[in-house]
Structures are given as structure tokens and as C-alpha cells.
């Protein structure tokens, strides 16, 4: 046996009819000279006499390489030691497995289009099934107050609501400052400084606040929800719950949906308030509009229904984000690829859905709360 | 003439205040099959992870194939790492790849094999662990526990290693399957002349496979010898582990499968 770390380079000595191999014919020793060896073996492949007695070591890879260039047949004359012969026989016996055929036909593109359609349909059906299941569970819980997952709701409220306050405040404040600054530049030109209150108030409370918070919460909590459910799926925790007779919808999905329905409108109010504060600071610096004046003008510029619309949007967007996150979380298959794909899909779909629903809101409430 | 495949010199491992190993010395010669046994929490798996370089011992030296585990350049270390294969307890198959790609992965990483060569090598490895060609397209999630172990073994063998490390190779398999798996490892070891280190709780496996048994207790290797000689050593742990009535039966069963 050779020493652990010394390898002898494989060599092929070809003198017309007879071929002799020396050195180690292992994956490790062949690796640096593989191209060269392939060429030499191809040249020698027709030889009738092969001498393998001077070979050091031969592993499965080396044996397979030889076997391939022998075209799966023993050469007419083969000089070989017993141990190496065993390796060759093993490769000969186990090899020769035909490559698994790649299935493919002209209909594949059509099948791919169909698969996308079926996939979409399945998404819709599963989403409706999730809604239905939640409605059934909700009805079931109505008469059994003891079964409400209050602890989970409270935990989710903390995680998705309280913990999101700093980041929503920061983003809200900066957006407020930027919006106010840009508007102030334009308004100054028209001498319509006072309308900064209307622009900021309506824009932030009615539109920007809810959408901004939704995007942040979808990225922050929606992805976390999907990943959590997905990992629970991978580690079979969801199955463990089911065997204990605990509904995953009541214990895992419902708390998330309810918590986000409560947390989102509160976050919307919080973020809008901070954004208006940022706008006020900027308006004071740019247009010299005092805080007190701003706050007095705000209720006239922004009628109360706008606040109700904001809260309504918060509730609906929160529910959408949680439902979409749970829908994708429960679809995760037990592998890492599926987990990452579903988490990405969850965030992207949640944000898209929120913006779509926001457009519906804008149309449905176009006559409400806008002073003319 | 040849250096030991694994040489552990004065290994000390501490996690916080807990001393797991305190001066472990062990040398494993080529072609040996060493079983590492010890009670729960005695640091068997930790030692195995130190041998493959996943953990670094607090003090002491791990030498593989006559060289320090961390000696040499990055390329040299990578080359050394390709000379051993490890079978993880849960298989650790890449869940996003199918069986074929799992076994092909280390071969493709070498970067010099043709698709045809990779294909042949993978199919040979799958045949060696007694899997059917049609299993090659399954995903890890679709495999049974025994099949996961066999695919993981095929992957560990992909780079034609000289040293094979097995972490609880038969844990979680039923007696029938685990006997078959032991026979498989035994055959492969004899065919390929591998050096094998296995961690196990399973006395059947231990009796059937090992040429020597290393007993890990009191933070060191208590004794490393053939099973027969270990049975004569007087020590409370060995007494409990090997000489209880259940153990005796398991050992006898294991020797039968030889």
C-alpha cells in the first residue's frame, strides 16, 4: 500500500498492439491529467493486449474509464492481478445501466402552458378553501369562547404590531419630510403655501399611510409568517399538531389573521401620525407654517371620513397580507427550494394584492371625504 | 510504512465550562473498521465532527492521512477533504436536488468530468448501494428512511474516498433494514478496502462491523481494542454497556450477521 499522501501519476504506455498502464488509476490521481488520459485511451482503445499488472491502485472511477474505452468488453488479452480484476468485474456487472431517458416531446410547451393555468387555478381554489375553512372555524369558535387562541393572538400582535413600530415610524417620518419638501417647492411658486396641509393630510392619511405600512408589513411579517409555517411543514410540526387533534387553522392561521387585522390599522394610524409630524417639521422649515396653525387647519382640510377609510384599509390590507402569507406557507413542500420560492411569492403577491385592493378602494370611495 | 489514516493527539474539547474530551489519543490504521461507543453526551458525534473539521478542538491535533487537518493551502485542504466521505445521521441530502443530482453534486464540483462520466459514476454508486436506476429521479422527500441512508452513503462514496465516517448508520432503521445496511457497508468496505469510523449505539451493528472498538468514557478513550478483549476489561461503563443481558443478546445477533 502506498503512503497516504503520495500519489503516483497514471501513465499509459502504448506500443502499437500492447498497452501497459502504470501508476494509480484513481479519481484523485487522474483528475489533473484526465484530458490527456482520455485522448491516450481513445487512441489505444483498439489494442488487443492490455497489461494492468503494473498498476498501483484502481478505483471504480478508473475502472469505469477503462471500461468505457474498452466499449464494455474485456480486451482479448488482459494481464491483471486478482484484486484489480475484482474491481473491473464489479464495474462490469453493475455498470452498463442505460441513461435514464430524458422525456421530451413537441407537446411539452403546450403542457407547460397548461401547467401554469392549472397552477393558477389551484392557487385560487386553495385560497378559497382557506377562506372557507377559516369561516367554518370562526363559526365553530363563536359558541366556544374557551377555545379562542388568545395567547397566540397576543403573541402575534406583539410580533407584528409592537415590533414593527420603530421601522414604520422611521420610514413614515422620512416620507413625510420628503413629500412636504417637494410640495413646498411647488406651492411656493404659486403662493399657495397653505395648501401644504391639504396635500399632506389627504395624501398621507388616505393613501400613503395604509399602502406604505402594508408594503413594510408584507415584507416584514408576511415573509416571517410564510417562513414559519413552511419550516413547520418541513420539520413535520404541522403534522404533529394534527395528530394531537389541534386544527392548524385555529392555532396557526387564525391568530395571525386576527392579530394583523388589529395591528395593521393601529400601525397605519401610528405611521400616518409620524409622517404628518415629519411633514410639519419640513413645512415649518420651508414655508414657515407653525405647528399650531398646521394642526388647526388639518381637520378642515381632511374630513373625518378619511380617517375611517384609512382604518378600513388597514384592516383589509392586514387581513390580505396574513391570508396570503398563510396560503403560501401551507403550500411549502418539504424542501429548501420550495421554502424560498413560496416566501418570495408570498411577499410579492401580498404587495400586489394590496395595491390592487387599494385601487378598488379608491374607486369605491371616490365620493367620500374629499372636500371640493 | 504507511501513516495512520486518522491520528488524534491530545484532543481537548470544552464547551463553556463543560469539558467533553480531555486528552484523547487514537490512531487508526488503513483498512480498519473502528466503532466509537460511549454513553449519551459522551462526545462521540463531537469527536467525529472534529475529525472531519466541522469543529475545532480546544487543544490537540487531528491528523488525517499523516498531515494536520488544517495544514496547507486552501486547495490542499480541499483536496484532503475529498479523500473522506461522511454519512450524516439524518442523511443531510440536499432537499432541492433529486437522488441523481445529490450523488452527482460532488463529482460535478470537481469540474473536470464529462456529463457521461458523471452519469456512469452516479449510476454505479447507486447500484453499489442497491438502489434501482428509476430511484434516481426521486426527490429526498419521497424516500423512506432506509433509502435516504443508502443515497447518503452513495453520495459519501461518490469521490472514491479512502476514509468513510458514519454517524449512527443504523439509527432509525428497522432491524431487518439495519442488518441489510450493515451487510452493505461490510461488502463495500471489503471491496474498496476503505477505512471506516462509525459512531453507534447499536450493538448488533458494532459486533458485525468493527475490527476494533474505541470506548469513549470519562472524557477520554478508555480502551481501543477488539471486542473480545474489551469484554475482559473491568470498568463500570463497559459492564453496563456490553455485559447486560440485552447487550449480550444483541452482540450475539450481530456476530451472526457476519
pLDDT category at A131 given cuts 50, 70, 90 is very high
Q: Stretch A135-140: mean pLDDT, rounded?
A: 91
DSSP E strand boundaries for A147-209: none
* CB nearest A336 (choices: B3, B82, B96): B96
Residue-range domains of chain A with CATH: 11-94 (3.30.750), 119-126+133-364 (no CATH)
pLDDT category at A4 given cuts 50, 70, 90 is very low
Task: Average the pLDDT over each of A19-28, A312-321, B6-15 and give the range with the smallest value.
Answer: A19-28
Confidence check: pLDDT of A2 > 60? no
- SS3 per-residue string spanning A46-99: CCCEEECCCEEEECHHHHHHHHHHCCCCCCCEEECCHHHHHHHHHHHHHCCCCC
Place of cell 486478482: A82
Verify whether the Cβ–Cβ distance A334 to B124 is below 8 Å. Answer: no
- Nearest Cα neighbor of B167 from B185, B141, B183, B144 is B185
Verify whether the Cβ–Cβ distance B3 to A86 is below 8 Å. Answer: no
- The whole-chain average pLDDT of chain A stands at 87
- pLDDT at position A349: 95
pLDDT category at A3 given cuts 50, 70, 90 is very low
Name the residue ranges covered by the structural domains of chain B.
Answer: 91-160
Alpha-carbon distance of A14 to A274, in angstroms, equals 84
To the question of pTM greater than 0.80 for the whole model, the response is no
Using alpha carbons, list the distances in angstroms from residue B146 to A220, B140, B150, B151: 40, 11, 6, 9
- pLDDT at position B23: 85
Alpha-carbon distance of A215 to A313, in angstroms, equals 13
Q: Which helix (H) or strand (E) holds A43?
A: helix A34-44
Can you tell me whether residue A168 is helix, strand or coil?
A: helix
Residues of chain B short of pLDDT 70, as ranges, are 1-2, 257-258
- Give the chain B residue whose CA is nearest to the CA of A233: B141
Can you tell me whether residue A260 is helix, strand or coil?
A: helix
* CB nearest A60 (choices: B30, B94, B124): B124
The residue of A6, A25, A27 whose CB has the most chain B CBs within 10 angstroms, and thus the best one to mutate to test that interface, is A27
Cell numbers given for B216:
469513549
Tell whether A296 lies on the interface with B, counting CB pairs under 8 A. Answer: no
Count CB neighbours of A173 within 10 A: 19
Cell numbers given for A264:
395593521
Cβ proximity of A218 and A347 under 8 Å: yes
- Nearest Cα neighbor of A269 from A323, A209, A325 is A209
Place of cell 478513550: B221
Tell whether B222 lies on the interface with A, counting CB pairs under 8 A. Answer: no
CA B130 from centroid of its chain's CA atoms = 19
- pLDDT at position A225: 95
Say yes or no: ipTM exceeds 0.95: no
Amino acid at each position: 500500500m502506498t503512503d497516504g499522501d503520495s500519489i503516483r501519476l497514471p501513465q499509459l504506455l502504448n506500443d502499437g498492439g500492447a498497452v501497459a498502464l502504470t501508476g494509480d488509476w484513481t479519481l484523485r490521481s487522474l483528475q489533473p491529467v484526465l484530458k490527456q488520459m482520455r485522448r491516450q485511451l481513445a487512441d489505444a482503445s483498439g489494442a488487443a493486449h492490455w497489461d494492468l499488472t503494473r498498476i498501483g491502485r484502481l478505483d471504480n472511477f478508473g475502472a469505469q474509464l477503462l471500461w468505457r474505452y474498452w466499449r464494455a468488453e474485456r480486451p482479448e488479452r488482459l494481464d491483471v492481478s486478482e484484486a484489480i480484476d475484482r474491481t473491473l468485474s464489479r464495474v462490469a456487472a453493475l455498470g452498463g445501466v442505460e441513461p435514464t431517458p430524458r422525456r421530451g416531446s413537441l407537446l411539452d410547451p403546450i403542457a407547460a402552458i397548461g401547467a401554469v393555468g392549472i397552477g393558477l387555478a389551484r392557487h385560487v381554489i386553495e385560497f378559497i378553501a382557506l377562506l372557507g375553512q377559516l369561516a367554518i372555524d370562526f363559526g365553530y369558535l363563536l359558541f366556544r369562547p374557551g377555545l379562542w387562541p388568545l395567547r397566540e393572538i397576543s403573541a402575534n400582535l406583539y410580533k407584528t404590531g409592537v415590533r414593527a413600530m420603530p421601522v414604520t415610524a422611521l420610514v413614515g417620518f422620512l416620507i413625510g419630510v420628503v413629500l412636504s419638501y417637494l410640495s413646498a417647492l411647488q406651492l411656493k411658486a404659486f403662493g399657495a403655501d397653505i395648501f401644504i396641509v391639504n396635500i399632506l393630510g389627504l395624501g398621507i392619511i388616505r393613501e400613503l399611510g395604509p399602502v406604505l405600512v402594508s408594503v413594510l408589513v408584507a415584507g416584514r411579517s408576511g415573509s416571517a409568517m410564510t417562513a414559519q409555517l413552511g419550516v413547520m411543514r418541513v420539520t413535520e410540526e404541522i403534522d404533529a399538531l394534527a395528530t394531537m387533534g389541534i386544527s392548524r387553522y385555529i392555532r396557526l392561521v387564525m391568530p395571525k389573521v386576527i392579530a394583523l387585522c388589529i395591528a395593521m390599522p393601529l400601525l397605519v394610524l401610528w405611521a400616518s401620525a409620524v409622517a404628518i409630524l415629519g411633514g410639519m417639521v419640513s413645512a415649518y422649515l420651508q414655508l414657515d407654517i407653525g405647528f399650531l396653525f398646521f394642526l388647526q387647519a388639518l381637520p378642515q382640510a381632511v374630513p373625518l371620513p378619511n380617517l375611517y377609510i384609512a382604518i378600513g384599509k388597514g384592516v383589509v390590507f392586514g387581513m390580505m397580507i396574513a391570508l396570503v402569507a398563510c396560503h403560501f406557507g401551507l403550500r411549502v413542500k418539504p424542501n429548501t427550494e420550495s421554502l424560498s420560492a413560496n416566501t418570495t411569492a408570498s411577499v410579492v403577491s401580498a404587495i400586489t394584492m394590496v395595491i390592487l385592493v387599494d385601487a378598488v378602494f379608491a374607486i369605491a370611495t371616490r365620493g367620500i371625504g374629499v372636500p371640493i | 510504512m504507511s501513516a495512520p489514516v486518522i491520528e488524534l493527539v491530545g484532543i481537548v474539547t470544552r464547551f463553556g465550562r463543560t469539558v467533553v474530551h480531555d486528552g484523547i489519543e487514537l490512531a487508526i490504521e488503513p483498512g480498519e473498521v473502528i466503532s466509537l461507543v460511549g454513553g449519551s453526551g459522551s462526545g462521540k458525534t463531537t469527536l467525529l465532527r472534529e475529525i472531519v473539521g466541522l469543529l475545532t478542538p480546544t487543544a490537540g491535533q487531528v491528523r488525517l492521512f499523516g498531515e494536520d487537518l488544517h495544514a496547507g493551502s486552501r486547495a490542499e485542504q480541499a483536496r484532503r477533504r475529498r479523500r473522506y466521505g461522511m454519512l450524516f445521521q439524518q442523511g443531510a441530502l440536499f432537499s432541492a436536488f433529486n437522488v441523481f443530482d445529490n450523488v452527482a453534486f460532488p463529482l460535478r464540483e470537481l469540474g473536470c468530468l464529462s456529463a457521461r462520466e458523471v452519469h456512469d459514476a452516479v449510476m454505479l454508486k447507486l447500484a453499489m448501494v442497491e438502489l434501482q436506476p428509476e430511484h434516481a429521479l426521486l426527490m429526498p422527500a419521497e424516500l423512506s428512511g432506509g433509502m435516504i441512508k443508502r443515497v447518503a452513503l452513495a453520495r459519501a462514496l461518490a469521490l472514491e474516498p479512502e476514509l468513510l465516517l458514519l454517524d449512527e448508520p443504523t439509527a432509525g432503521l428497522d432491524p431487518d433494514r439495519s442488518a441489510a445496511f450493515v451487510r452493505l457497508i461490510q461488502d463495500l468496505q471489503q471491496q474498496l478496502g476503505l477505512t471506516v469510523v462509525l459512531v453507534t449505539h447499536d450493538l448488533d451493528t458494532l459486533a458485525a462491523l468493527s475490527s476494533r472498538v474505541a470506548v469513549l468514557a470519562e472524557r477520554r478513550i478508555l480502551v481501543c481494542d477488539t471486542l473480545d478483549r474489551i469484554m475482559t476489561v473491568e470498568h463500570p461503563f463497559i459492564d453496563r454497556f456490553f455485559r447486560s443481558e440485552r447487550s449480550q443478546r444483541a452482540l450475539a445477533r450481530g456476530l451472526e450477521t457476519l
